Structure 1
Amino acid sequence: MSIKKSEIAAIYGNKLPVGCNLCFSGIKAVIFLTGLCNEKCFYCPVSYLRRNKDLIYVNERKIENFEEIFEEIERSGAKSASITGGEPLIVFDRTTKIIELLKQNFGSNFHIHLYTNGILINEDVLKKLEKAGLDELRIHPTIDGIEKKVVIAKKVTSLSVGVEIPSLPGKEEWMIKLAEFLDKAGADFLNINELEANETNIKNLRINGFVISDNGIVVNGSRETAMKVIEYAKKHSLKIPIHFCPAIFKDAVQTRNRFIITAQNDIKIYEKADGGLIKFGILEPESTDIEIEKFIDEGLIQRCRDSLCFHLDDLKKLKDLINKKGKAYVVEAHPTRERFIVNKSRLF
């Protein structure tokens, strides 16, 4: 098998896991089902806001009930979902319930994959996950022997089963042995992620001897380690597909594509989509008077949250009003439900 390389990925083998293809396309919702976990990985990137807390998020939205999960999936235009954490199997009943409900609400073709460290996996758990409707299982082995649960999963289910690990410089030999084991076990894939650095793990990464890149985003040598494993797989003709996913993929491809689709799916009358961002105008008048109410009645100005918003295409029509009545800004925001603002600049 050949190796295909690009700036955002390296792939050994003929195909990506289905979950990866959907992620790449931006039509996957990320369901963070709990921050509780039975492991303490030193490289864990989960934020302090979520870590060790039994909270649910879908994409960037904090969720209070299952109905809000479905609402956010519809709003984002997602056609699939990944279930992650924390460790989703700690809240096993919740995990199987949401899988069942996703299939009921969005149909049998709504693809679902789940991340787990595998510690709580057994035959009964696997059969219940498959019965609930899970399509793809991704095991992240954190202790010796967990990778053997791939064999059990392949034996007792028809799920697509693979392993997903961070690329740890200095652990090349272990990663190669893992790839060889998975190849013999008939695993469906091995995903290797570039080791990311953030405010929650950077101290531990340094304590463990890793060197952070100049941009502070990744660990030096992580990409090179992954590529050595892939080159080994090619040299020794391993059959298992291996996918290296760099850190840049999350922002440059995955999140951006999801934001583009969400923006198209959830655009307001006063907004315009611009790539993965949403742009609109905000008017902050000194007071709301009859003249401003006239523009609101005509639909040129919309009440939005605590502001008065307008479409940037109507700027010329509103210029005189803006100059007389107050301050106006161009806003760039992510298409999250709350419209997280990334840039706000003064007009005129």
Structure 2
Amino acid sequence: MDSHIRKAYANVYDTMKWLLPDEIEEAVFTRTSLLDRIMGNPQAHWAHSRTKLYTRHISQGCTLCGQGRWSCLFINGTCNARCFYCPTAQDDPGQPMTNTIVFDHPDNYADYVSRYHIKGVGFSGGEPLLTFDRLLAYLKALKKRVDHPVYTWLYTNGILVNREKLAALCDGGLDEIRFDLSANGYRLETLEQALHVIPRVTVEIPAIPEDISTVKQLMIDLERLGVNHLNLHQIRCTPHNVNHLIDRGYTFVRGPGVTVLESELTALALIQYALERDISLPINYCSFAFRHQFQGMGARKRCAKEIRAGHEDITPTGYIRRLTVIGAENHIADVCKTLADRGVDASLYSISAKKDAISFSAELWHLIDFSKVRLKVGYSQAVLREGVSYRHPFKKVALDRGKSLVIEKQMVHSTDWLDSEAVQGFGSLLDIRGKLQTDSTQDPRLRGPCKNILPFETITPGLARYY
């Protein structure tokens, strides 16, 4: 992991203030102490495998995000603010895009949302209000063409908000507006205008350590105004913003993504402050542990359903799992006979052309005699693309208005052949129906090759480790 990070931040890695081994214990103690005080309040709750901490309740949009039932449409890639924490350059005027797919016509995007039965859409950028007519056209297309309810929300820095735009968004059916007040000096004027027009108003800001006193007062003001939610998210580091974060003296934490230690501790301190003072404003902490694991899961699952084979499974994290046993032809024949004698649906397993291997759904696990065969576990991810790369198996998906997309099945991990102990360890993850039992992930047999497959099988609970 560290070699990957070194490569990504090659020019500045040695100047970054990394969390050192002898500092980890103190950081963990500080976080644990904050969490203990927070969770001692009955208004504090965990959601999504204890990766999302919130008080009282969270918005419908955040719930749909955690369920993987939403789509984020980047209306443009330009912005009129220059926030030090922004992870990208925001200098690409580009066409509306989601999951790398360009939707250059509102009806095409609405048909995509309808086809995949997406329940929530967040409009983001850049700053969406820079292309207001475009934003409004996509919003109206969703409300007009999609035949199921779609909860919609807008991310904005608020700089271009006015009563006319708010009224048009309301008439177009916008359900929620989210202000990043930190991008506009924590000014409240445009937010106050929205409170009288848009059904739900949220403030969504990064937890900036230097602004903790400002945000404490802000929470009191937001409660007084009747704002519906406050979302605090953790600052993450990218090659684009790294120099700005270095200049502020932040401590960087390694992981699947580089994050800022002080940002997480600030978010928790703010939640503790609100609870201790009985501030009724609902607050949620959108941690990187949540975003990294949950925000791609929904898109993977949607596409996986369309391209997986009948003998493959979709894991809780949205990957396509293939289980394969190999052995002498007579041993494979014995496995096939057992399955046939039990009347198993033939679509749940597949025999190789050489008849020396069989791939099977996990729900058949209890019918397989592993004593004379070896097991391999492989994982693929379903990826939506504009066109065919011809490097992976694919399936074309037709939308209305003549637009078509492609789902590719890309291999992302394949284990070595597992020994008997590892096979037993993997089997401990599954119940009789082949479903994952997340409380089995600490099985001591789950080491070596099995340990490496856990990220494809299950969400890692709790906030990210410090290391």
Matches within 5 A, 1:226-241: 226-241=267-282
Aligned to 1:260: 301
1:295 matched to which residue of 2?
none
Matched, 1:83 2:123: yes
> How does 1:99-114 map onto structure 2 within 5 Å?
99-107=139-147, 109-114=149-154
CA contact under 8 A between 1:271 and 1:278: conserved in structure 2?
A: no
Match in the other structure for 2:460: none
Offset at residue 268 of structure 1 (A): 5.2
Q: Which residue of 2 aligns with 1:12?
A: 55
1:45 aligns with 2:83: no
For residue 51 of structure 2, give the secondary structure of its aligned residue in structure 1: coil
Gap regions ≥5 residues in structure 1:
282-310, 322-328
Whether the 8 Å CA contact 2:79–2:127 is kept in 1: the answer is yes
* 1:210 match: secondary structure: coil
SS at match of 1:218: strand
Give the distance between the partners of 2:142 and 2:311, measured in 1 at CA.
30
Unaligned runs of 5+ in 2: 1-41, 324-346, 358-375, 386-407, 418-467
Could you give the per-residue CA deviations for residues 184-229 of structure 1, whole angstroms, max 9, x where no partner exists?
A: 1110110000111223222321123222113352101211111111
Please tell me whether residue 170 in structure 1 is matched to residue 210 in structure 2.
Answer: yes
Partner of 2:410: 341
Q: Letter of the 1:104 partner, please give it.
A: K
> Which segment drifts farther, 164-173 or 103-112?
103-112
Letter in 1 for 2:155: Y
TM-score (norm 2): 0.60
SS of corresponding position for 2:153: strand
- What is the rounded CA distance, in whole Å, between the counterparts of 1:23 and 1:237 in structure 2? 27
Return the letter of the residue paired with 2:249.
Answer: G
**Structure 1 letter corresponding to 2:273:** Y
2:139 partner amino acid: I
* Equivalence map 1:138-157=2 (5 Å): 138-141=178-181, 142-144=183-185, 146-155=187-196, 157=197
Cα deviation per residue 1:203-257 (whole Å; 9 max; x = unaligned)? 3211232221133521012111111111111111111111111011113223224
RMSD (Å), alpha carbons: 2.9
Q: 1:28 aligns with which of 42, 55, 70?
A: 70
Residue 341 of structure 1 aligns to which amino acid in structure 2? Answer: Q
Of 325, 332, 350 in structure 2, the residue corresponding to residue 314 of structure 1 is 350
Question: What amino acid maps onto 1:336 in structure 2?
Answer: V
Deviation at 1:174, TM superposition (A): 1.5
Residue in structure 2 matched with residue 223 of structure 1 by the alignment: 264
Tell me by how many angstroms 1:96 deviates: 0.7
CA separation of 1:147/1:313 partners in 2, compared to 1, >3 Å: closer, same or farther? farther
Q: In the TM superposition, what is the alpha-carbon distance from 1:273 to its structure 2 partner?
A: 4.1
Amino acid at match of 1:57: M
Task: Evaluate the alpha carbon distance shift between residue 51 and residue 340 of structure 1 in structure 2; reply closer, same or farther with a 3 A threshold.
Answer: farther
Q: 1:289 is matched with which residue?
A: none
Alignment deviations for residues 3-34 of structure 1 (CA, whole Å, 9 cap, x no partner):
22463011112x11111111111110111110
> 2:340 aligns to what?
none
When the two structures are superposed, what TM-score results if normalisation uses the length of structure 1? 0.79
Answer yes or no: is the 8 Å Cα contact 1:270–1:280 preserved in 2: no
Q: 1: CA distance between counterparts of 2:243 and 2:411? A: 27
2:378–2:413: 8 Å Cα contact kept in structure 1?
yes
Matched letter for residue 93 of structure 1: D
| Larger radius of gyration between Structure 1 and Structure 2 | 2
Q: Which moved more, 1:66-75 or 1:109-118?
A: 66-75
1:332 positional shift: 3.9
SS at match of 1:11: strand
Q: How does 1:229-308 map to 2 (within 5 A)?
A: 229-264=270-305, 266-267=306-307, 272-275=312-315, 276-278=318-320
Q: Once the two structures are superposed, what CA deviation does each residue of 1:26-46 show, in whole Å capped at 9, x if it has no partner?
A: 110111110011011111123
**Percent of aligned pairs with the same amino acid:** 26
**Matched residue of 2:279: which SS?**
coil
